Structure 1
Amino acid sequence: MNDKYDLAIVGGGLSGSTLALHLKRRGWRGRLAIVEPGALGLGLAYSTRDPDHLLNVYAGRMGVYADAPGDFADWMAARDLPWGPSDFVPRALYGEYVAARLTEAGGIDHRQARAEDLFPEGGGYRLKLSDGSELLAGKVVLALGNFRPRWPGVLAAIESDPRLIADPWDRMRQADLPQGARVLLVGTGLTMIDVALTLAGSGHTAPMLAVSRHGLLPQPHLPIRAAAPPVQFADLPASPLGILRWLRAKAREGGDWGPWVDALRPVTQALWRSWSGAERARFLRHAKTYWEVHRHRLAPPVVERLRGERANGWLHLMAGRVASVDASGPTLKVEIDQRGGGQRRVEVDAIVNCTGPCSDPRRAEDPFLDKLLTQGLVQPDAFGLLTDEAGALMAADGKAVEGLYALGPLTKPALWEITAVPDIRTQASQLATLLAP
């Protein structure tokens, strides 16, 4: 096998696959490899096979091409599938769409292994893979996607206890739970909803308790309606507090944050870049939770399902934090400090980590990233890896690394909003233009 490539993409989930598609669409003629141990196009989000796990964006907006957001809906229509542009479809189907587009594009070598090490060589990079092979690439893009959650607070001290399920997407572990097991879900966001729906679909009978600091669920998508007027960056308040007040004022006028959060999307990354470190910290401390529940909304069928489950007492929410866990007996005795005061004690048979993906590469326990950090090839912060505006990774000395780029959630430090398909496809298009002008 010729193991020399013009470009290697490490990671074949949505980010890496979308970049490959944009490159091929631009007429890329060089040798291209995607290093990914699993199937291409899936990642954590779209590898689910649970039909209850739906996209939280209308299908008509989910095309992988930045200039053709309706491509996914067109793909479904060409196959006479029973969904249209205004539907929220199973995430597994979206994974099939991305994989199908990769197959159609052709000319992409899938190196089905994990990247284990990377080091500069001959003006490019040598990658060592888990199957014992190596490859040389002129340029490398890291598209590692989301890292699995890390246990928060006191739960980290007992994470080896088999009753703690660290991976919320491990359906085998969840299937092993007795149907009557009492379960504590730590987190109340989209990850918690995935787990709750999976357990409900498997016939779980015991009520579940979900706890987070604010105890808030993501807001529902409202029916398609006229969008809010576009906003201009220059007309917006400069500070995070000003943006929050602006959103509240707009919501009072129209009764909902959603359209105005959507109107901010074209300038959200510019706002984040314009804030100082102190302003970003204030946003994260005071506004992040409220932003996310309005920004990352739920499909209406999921909302109706949750309403029914909460009404019948199957799912309970609590605002608070886990203060202590006694794991010495046959059950887990959990003390929860409730928001607003007071403490509640619950006994459960299992705890599932639903806090969402870990973003700090220093805590991700990823051996490949650990080696890059040790070499000083990349520079981390609490949300990912530092990059310049073109997506080139910054080394420990603060200089951009020639020919080494990042894409997707890894670039959160520079962009913040870079986990949804519309943001990733725009970033992929821009990077493809740089790599294949």
Structure 2
Amino acid sequence: MTRSDRRHVIIVGGGASGVLLAYQLLHQPTRNLRVTLIEQRPDIGRGIAYHTGNPDHLLNVRVANMSALPDRPDHFWRWLSARELDVPVCPDPYCFVPRRIYGDYVASLLEQQTSDPADVERLSIVRGVCVDISEGRAGVTVTLGDGQSLTGDTVVLATGHDMRASRAGYADPWAPPSAAPLDPDATVLLLGTGLTMVDYVLSLLRDGHRGPIIAMSRRGLLAKPHRRADAQRIDEAEVPFGAGISALLRWLRDRIERNAAEGGDWRSVIDGLRPYTQRLWHELPQASKRRFLEHARAWWDVHRHRMAPEVEARITRAIYAGQLTLVAAKVTSIAPNRDGARVHYRRRGGGRIASTQVGAVVDCTGIVKDPRATPNPAVRALFERGLARVDPLCIGIETDRNCAIIGQDGAVSQRLFAVGPLTRAAFWEIIAIPDIRNQCAVLATRLAETAGEHRAGLEPVV
């Protein structure tokens, strides 16, 4: 089969989502597919999540649940065991390893394809930034920052989380504190108390920071830790699909209380619900989705996205030592000055405005919440061309349940798709590997079937 005979899938984004999709496409029964993976970073498979070199930054999911392949649940554990001498001791699949190690694992998925002559024509890795995507009768054209253009039959956006652009006067939460640089005795204010904040505290401690660290968010909630608790088996018929958010939360609390009365752990119930969370979100009434995002999301996140026990121990020590303080408050203004910044804030439940002087401010609120504010030129281009639109809740680009992007006119594209966090409007729980790997496997199968229809001379139906 010649190169031109194969259906060409262009994946924009070579982080974990892009690599997982590329792997699944290249391992479909048909060989009627070729893949181009576009990534701006020097290394593929890492993205924001796994590029860190800090060994204190651990996975937030145990090794047992981090296989990249849904049909081989022990794949990561076996890969890890095979190179035991190169990594910190991991006594069993319930351990948590550094995220940089997982980045090595994801990158290794495509090593055979880049070294095997039989696969070289089926996979191309292009370094660059996608700045435009246009759709025509002959296919989809992707334009890179250097002016290079690539044309394919299908384009899949796998760009992961859109990160906030660095703001003047703020330290970059994704860079080590030494890059700022920060005065080791200064007070550091971290905006946000989620897992990004936890990572930055670990970085500060590793760099020998001695000064006070203040972590501030509206609710001041800290992620809960993992424990050795197996997921509870929950029958699908027991789950109240389609119920409003109040009824759903009552059901969940009751389930947790009954499990606790029997000596169980709340984590078992939360983890047991995981296979149903995407369907629950899909069938949740729109008004309930909005109420969840406004009032319950923060509580769900700290129970659902947890810290490794080793990380919890370090954070707890910092709190008890008085170096780290969690504050439930809303920042009203930040005024930079020669010594850092004067921060004004109002504590939760209070009306008085307080202020404090800090040496540095770090925005750890993480991802861009509103897709219209994205710094991603590829996504902006889709909006400008009318090829994509924001969902009604304004949390992601709108896609259907098959990952196809929906245009401004409401039409479902036959050529443009998305995977990973970009699709949270449709799937919600789509930021962790166990969810993304399933999504990529399903989409790869669908695209392979479409390629087969194309080769047979049929009109593709997605």
Give TM class, smaller chain.
over 0.9
- Alpha-carbon separation, structure 1, partners of 2:216 and 2:276: 32
- Alpha-carbon separation, structure 1, partners of 2:103 and 2:338: 42
CA 1:141–1:293 in structure 2 vs 1: closer, same or farther (change >3 Å)? same
> Are 1:135 and 2:145 an aligned pair?
no
Structure 1 unpaired stretches of 5+: 152-158
In the TM superposition, residue 178 of structure 1 has moved relative to its aligned partner by 1.7
In the TM superposition, residue 146 of structure 1 has moved relative to its aligned partner by 0.3
CA 1:195–1:143 in structure 2 vs 1: closer, same or farther (change >3 Å)? same
Q: Deviations over 1:324-378 (max 9, x none)?
A: 2232453311121101214432110111011121142211122222121110011
Secondary structure of 1:327's aligned partner: strand
1:262 to 271, 277, 290: 271
- Alpha-carbon separation, structure 1, partners of 2:414 and 2:230: 45
In structure 2, give the amino acid aligned to 1:430. Answer: V
Aligned to 2:322: 313
Secondary structure of 1:347's aligned partner: strand
Secondary structure of 1:324's aligned partner: strand
Aligned to 2:37: 34
Kindly report the root-mean-square deviation, in angstroms, between the aligned alpha carbons of the 2 structures. 1.9
- Alpha-carbon separation, structure 2, partners of 1:91 and 1:5: 34
- Structure 1 segment 393-412 matched on structure 2, within 5 A: 393-412=405-424
- Structure 1 segment 109-148 matched on structure 2, within 5 A: 109-148=124-163
In structure 2, give the amino acid aligned to 1:239. Answer: G
- Structure 1 segment 353-364 matched on structure 2, within 5 A: 353-364=363-374
In the TM superposition, residue 227 of structure 1 has moved relative to its aligned partner by 2.5
Query: Mean Cα displacement is larger for which, 254-263 or 228-237?
Result: 228-237
In structure 2, give the amino acid aligned to 1:110. Answer: I
- Alpha-carbon separation, structure 2, partners of 1:186 and 1:412: 23
Q: Deviations over 1:277-320 (max 9, x none)?
A: 21101111121111100000110000111111111111100111
Taking only the aligned residue pairs, the percentage that are identical comes to: 40
Q: Deviations over 1:153-193 (max 9, x none)?
A: xxxxxx43x2x12x310226645112122110000000000
Query: Mean Cα displacement is larger for which, 367-376 or 395-404?
Result: 367-376
In structure 2, give the amino acid aligned to 1:280. Answer: K
In the TM superposition, residue 71 of structure 1 has moved relative to its aligned partner by 0.6
1:67 to 64, 71, 78: 71
Contact 1:145/1:410 (CA < 8 Å) preserved in 2?
yes
- Alpha-carbon separation, structure 2, partners of 1:36 and 1:10: 7
Contact 1:231/1:264 (CA < 8 Å) preserved in 2?
no
Secondary structure of 2:294's aligned partner: helix
- Structure 1 segment 17-416 matched on structure 2, within 5 A: 17-27=19-29, 29=31, 30-38=33-41, 39-81=43-85, 82-83=89-90, 84-106=92-114, 107=119, 108-149=123-164, 159-160=167-168, 162=169, 164-165=170-171, 167-171=172-176, 174-223=179-228, 225-232=229-236, 235-236=239-240, 238-255=243-260, 256-341=265-350, 342-381=352-391, 382-416=394-428
Contact 1:319/1:338 (CA < 8 Å) preserved in 2?
yes
In the TM superposition, residue 28 of structure 1 has moved relative to its aligned partner by 5.1
Contact 2:26/2:34 (CA < 8 Å) preserved in 1?
no
- Alpha-carbon separation, structure 2, partners of 1:434 and 1:213: 42
In structure 2, give the amino acid aligned to 1:9. Answer: I
Structure 2 unpaired stretches of 5+: 450-462
Contact 2:193/2:220 (CA < 8 Å) preserved in 1?
yes
- Alpha-carbon separation, structure 2, partners of 1:5 and 1:126: 14
Secondary structure of 1:280's aligned partner: helix
In the TM superposition, residue 419 of structure 1 has moved relative to its aligned partner by 0.1
Q: TM-score, normalised by structure 2?
A: 0.88
2:16 to 14, 17, 26: 14
In structure 1, give the amino acid aligned to 2:442. Answer: Q
Contact 2:188/2:360 (CA < 8 Å) preserved in 1?
yes
Contact 2:13/2:38 (CA < 8 Å) preserved in 1?
yes
Q: TM-score, normalised by structure 1?
A: 0.93
Query: Mean Cα displacement is larger for which, 213-222 or 331-340?
Result: 331-340
Q: Deviations over 1:29-52 (max 9, x none)?
A: 222100111111111000011000
